[in-house]
Amino acid sequence: KSEILIARGGPQNITVEVEALTDDLSGQLNITLPLGWATTKDLKAVNIAKKNDRQSFTFQLIPGEKAQAGAVRFEFVGPKGRSDRTLHEIDHPHIMPQVHYTPAEVQLVPLDVTTTARLVGYVEGAGDAVPQAIERLGVEVRMLDPATTTLDDLRGLDAVVVGIRAYNTVEAMPRFNPLLMRYVEEGGTVVAQYNTRSRDMMLPDSLIGPYPFELTRGRVTVEEAPPTFLDPKHPLLNTPNAITTADFEGWVQERGLYFVGDHDPRYTALIAWNDPGEEPLDGALITCEHGKGRYVYTGISFFRELPAGVPGAYRLFANLISSRAAQ
């Protein structure tokens, strides 16, 4: 069902479907687990009468004390052979129909994470997989249309997350952004992900947040760049998950991009880092209190780290969206 499965402490169910490519398919479905994991039953009997019909199977995965991240692999074994592949059909108007196969596996990520958020709104920007990542934390996600969403719609949300480049691509942001600021004033949390400073911006960067800040082209491309915590006791680095340098291990591709430069003194910068030989940049994650709520702007590449199953990115993002619910 998903390329990444987040396991949060206890047993975790996973469901897999077997599709018959022939009539009278019979055999068994085997599962192979990473080190430290067990299942109540490691094989399932498959019996499908008709071609193209499907049968679903659910396995319960049980973590041990030293459960490791790794691939959960599935294999069908029958009288006429075996298969450990997932079939993908591609059928778009502009190309010939295609079929391709990938390994029948899911990456299992054991994760010690707490979130107090239960319902989060999401504004889609240029497109990313962050909403699905939030759902893996056990949080309900409600997609928001900036052209029609009202302040009353926002009031029941624990947080609103703005997708990457929304202020570059969503025409209704000038109408919607004042509602976001009012929502923050009333006690809400807004987490805005990166945008680029360019002519296509729907709002100037000075008007994106409750107080002015300036977007730059600053970025950190070395994913191992060590972080410096500028305000180690800040709630966003401690509640509900205590963030340490270990949470920045195993990141992919980069730390972040299009960081904030100059900003109103009411913002607090939380993290600094730099590429080798470069000056430290402190605009990857800034935050401020506004009215009764909290505003966060971040250039951290959550849109890469969360779909990749990076545990520390999940823990930090859980803190960002839990700010209101923790009050």
- 195 occurs within a structural domain: yes
Do 230 and 143 reside in the same domain of the chain? yes
243 and 132 within one domain? yes
Question: How many folded domains does the chain comprise?
Answer: 2
For position 143, what pLDDT does the model report?
98
Of 110, 140, 155, which residue is a domain's last? 110
Question: Which of these three, 68, 91, 110, is where a domain ends?
Answer: 110
Question: Could you tell me if 298 and 190 are in contact, meaning their C-beta atoms sit under 8 angstroms apart?
Answer: no
Q: Is residue 82 part of a domain?
A: yes
CATH (domain of 231): 3.40.50.880
Same domain (yes/no): 80, 144 = no
Q: Same domain, yes or no, for 131 and 96? A: no
135 and 273, same domain (yes or no): yes
Residue numbers of the domain that contains 283 = 119-321
81 and 134 co-located in one domain: no
Whether 303 maps to a domain, the answer reads yes
Same domain, 204 and 314: yes
Query: Do residues 89 and 236 both lie within one domain?
Result: no
* Within-domain flag for 172: yes
Measuring CA to CA, which residue among 21, 75, 70 is closest to residue 44? 75
If asked whether residues 33 and 140 sit together in one domain, one would say: no
pLDDT value, residue 326: 47
Between the alpha carbon of residue 219 and those of residues 17, 53, 71, 246, 298, the distances in Å are: 42, 49, 32, 21, 12
Cross-strand partners of 105: 73
Quote the pLDDT of residue 246. 96
Same-domain status, 106 and 126: no
Looking at residue 67, its pLDDT comes to: 85
Domain boundary among 55, 76, 110: 110
CA 48 – CA 32 distance, rounded (Å)? 22
Q: Report the candidate in 96, 30, 31, 113 with the shortest Cα–Cα distance to residue 70.
A: 31
**pLDDT tens, residue order, the chain (327 aa):** 346 777 777 788 889 999 998 999 999 999 999 999 999 877 899 999 999 999 999 999 988 888 888 889 999 999 988 999 887 777 777 777 787 788 899 888 888 899 999 999 999 999 999 999 999 999 999 999 999 999 999 999 999 999 999 999 999 999 999 999 999 999 999 999 999 999 889 999 999 999 999 999 999 999 999 999 999 999 999 999 999 999 999 999 999 999 999 999 999 999 999 999 999 999 999 999 999 999 999 999 999 999 988 999 999 999 999 987 544
Sign of torsion over alpha carbons 188, 193, 198, 202 = negative
